Structure 1
Amino acid sequence: MRRASGTYDFGRAARAEWTKLRTAGDTGRLLLLAVALTVAVGCGTAKAVKCPDTGCGQDAVRLALTGVTVGQAVVAVLAVLAVSGEYGSGMIRTTLTAMPGRITVLTAKATVLTAVVLVSGTAAILASLLAGRLILPGNGFTGAHGYAPLSLADGPTLRAAAGSVLYLVLIALLGLGVATAVRAAAPAIGIVLGLLYVFPVVTGVVDDPDWQRHLQQISPMTAGLAVQATVRLGELPIGPWAGLGVLAAWAATALLAGGLLLHGRDA
């Protein structure tokens, strides 16, 4: 049976986007850099933090996954370049001529980017947890101090790991949406990194505790990374999955804005 034209168009667009992303010179290097930084920063944090006695108050899982706060920047840059590179080279005109359905093109880009970040993010998170499992016991994170070895068999650890992978995917989609709206690489990267890193700085200089909490609840990074927490959840400004939902809302808004602008303006 012949496939519907919409399905055919999307499949063709997805294959084209995969080819462009795979053959882009920086893609492989950026993905490797994202994985390496995520694991390296996680290892460095695990080596630096000590737990000398019972009840030291540290979240071992979150320590092992600290590298996500750095690796996300590379993921964001990769997502931005996936769009801005085409505008910079003029290839976007060829893309939209071959595939006039602009929303189909954006959906294909988002799908391919999601798949790539999902794979590399999973590798980075699993490697970070393995490193934490090997390093943390030597710093006092032992059963005697109330810490079991890091394991995906533990529900909160599994949630933190899966949530961290989804977090990286959502960061990529946020970057994709912003880049589609802005088109130029430098301002798009500045906007995304500003949302991620400047937002918490602004929150930190606010004196009012209530306003601090509210800002933390809407900050893409602070709210999104709540999904990594495995202890003292009641003290968080927002719950783990709700926090990831906040980041998803930011990504969806960026994609919607990018899609509307892509659909309504000239290439």
Structure 2
Amino acid sequence: MNALAVLRAEWTKFRTAPGMAWLLVGVAVATAGLSAWASGVSGGAVPDPVRVSLTGVMFGQAVVAIVAVLPVGDEYASGMVRVSFAAVPRRWAVLGAKALVVGGAVAVAAVPGVLVSLWAGQRWLSGYAGGLWRPGVGALLYLVLVGLLSVGVAAVLRNSAAAIGAVLGLLFAFPLMALSVPDPDWRRHIEQVGPMSAGMSVLATRGLDELPIAPWRGLGVLAAWALGFLLVGVLLTERRDS
């Protein structure tokens, strides 16, 4: 089976999975809904209105984790993964196709969520200026990378519930650790290596010198986490019996 056929097969499995379409709608609704709420209740004047208007990305990523984990975890749970590997002996190709499908689907779902978030910020927050392309594109890429990270974690754990818990734990563990560390230098280092604390820096438009890490570099940290888990997932998938 060639690469295009593998990709088509994974897309068919993804789009026909029960409830997947609603979960993708949930990505957009969760992102836009919480962002609009944050913009509406903030009182108008905030230090970084663009970042506030993208608050929903933090909520939307939880739905993204579910969307990304289920195609891998459910296939292991049902035993259908054996059929997939029998049809495509190159197991890395199956996981790669899943990652591409998930990344594309999350990107499509995230676009309206991010656009509505930015629109709500412009409507309700004062001091909303230009330069929206970087936080807007960054928010979209952030959600896609969380999806790819989740695919990798699911490939490692092979269990949907465990993978969702692991992804959310990984995302929120570093900010919580940073809050508990009194030393400012150590706190900054923790925020620099955490996938969420570093990745979210791409949403900032003001006070960039005060960030623990530069915006694009922070998103690169999240990309490194995602790539790392995908590589480990590929390695384990190739070595396991099923």
Cα deviation 1:111-142 (Å, max 9, x = unaligned): 11111111111111011111222222xxxx1x
Q: Where does residue 100 of structure 1 map in the other structure?
A: 89
Question: Given the alignment of the two structures, is residue 211 of structure 1 paired with residue 204 of structure 2, yes or no?
Answer: no
- The DSSP-based 3-state class of the residue aligned with 2:8 is helix
Question: Given the alignment of the two structures, is residue 118 of structure 1 paired with residue 68 of structure 2, yes or no?
Answer: no
1:34 Cα deviation after fit: 1.4
Q: Where does residue 263 of structure 1 map in the other structure?
A: 238
1:167 Cα deviation after fit: 0.3
Q: Where does residue 64 of structure 1 map in the other structure?
A: 53
Amino acid in the other structure paired with 1:216: E
Question: Percent sequence identity over matched residues?
Answer: 48
**Aligned-partner Cα distance in 1 for 2:62–2:104:** 18
Among 7, 19, 38, which residue is 1:45 paired with? 38
**Aligned-partner Cα distance in 2 for 1:120–1:68:** 12
1:198 Cα deviation after fit: 2.4
Which aligned pairs between 1:155-166 and structure 2 lie closer than 5 A? 155=131, 157-166=132-141
Cα deviation 1:172-221 (Å, max 9, x = unaligned): 00000000011011211111000111221111011111110000000111
**Aligned-partner Cα distance in 2 for 1:258–1:90:** 18
1:148 Cα deviation after fit: 4.1
Among 157, 170, 184, which residue is 2:159 paired with? 184
Question: Given the alignment of the two structures, is residue 245 of structure 1 paired with residue 220 of structure 2, yes or no?
Answer: yes
Give structure 1 stretches of 5+ with no counterpart: 1-7, 142-146
Mean Cα displacement is larger for which, 56-65 or 234-243?
56-65
**Aligned-partner Cα distance in 2 for 1:229–1:197:** 19
CA RMSD, 1 decimal: 1.2
Amino acid in the other structure paired with 1:108: A
**Aligned-partner Cα distance in 2 for 1:118–1:34:** 10
- TM (norm. structure 1) is 0.88
The 1:24–1:209 alpha-carbon spacing in structure 2 relative to 1, beyond 3 Å, is same
State the aligned residue count: 242
- The DSSP-based 3-state class of the residue aligned with 2:205 is coil
- The DSSP-based 3-state class of the residue aligned with 1:238 is coil
- The DSSP-based 3-state class of the residue aligned with 1:163 is helix
1:57 Cα deviation after fit: 5.2
**Aligned-partner Cα distance in 1 for 2:160–2:99:** 17
**Aligned-partner Cα distance in 1 for 2:196–2:86:** 37
- TM (norm. structure 2) is 0.97
Amino acid in the other structure paired with 2:87: A
Give structure 2 stretches of 5+ with no counterpart: none
- The DSSP-based 3-state class of the residue aligned with 1:266 is coil
**Aligned-partner Cα distance in 2 for 1:186–1:109:** 18
**Aligned-partner Cα distance in 1 for 2:50–2:76:** 40
Greater C-alpha radius of gyration? 1
The 1:57–1:235 alpha-carbon spacing in structure 2 relative to 1, beyond 3 Å, is farther
Q: Where does residue 11 of structure 2 map in the other structure?
A: 18
**Aligned-partner Cα distance in 2 for 1:24–1:92:** 14
Would you identify which runs of 4 or more consecutive aligned residues in structure 1 move more than 4 Å?
Answer: none
Partners of 2:76 and 2:158 within 8 A in 1: yes
Among 29, 32, 35, which residue is 2:25 paired with? 32
**Aligned-partner Cα distance in 1 for 2:184–2:73:** 39
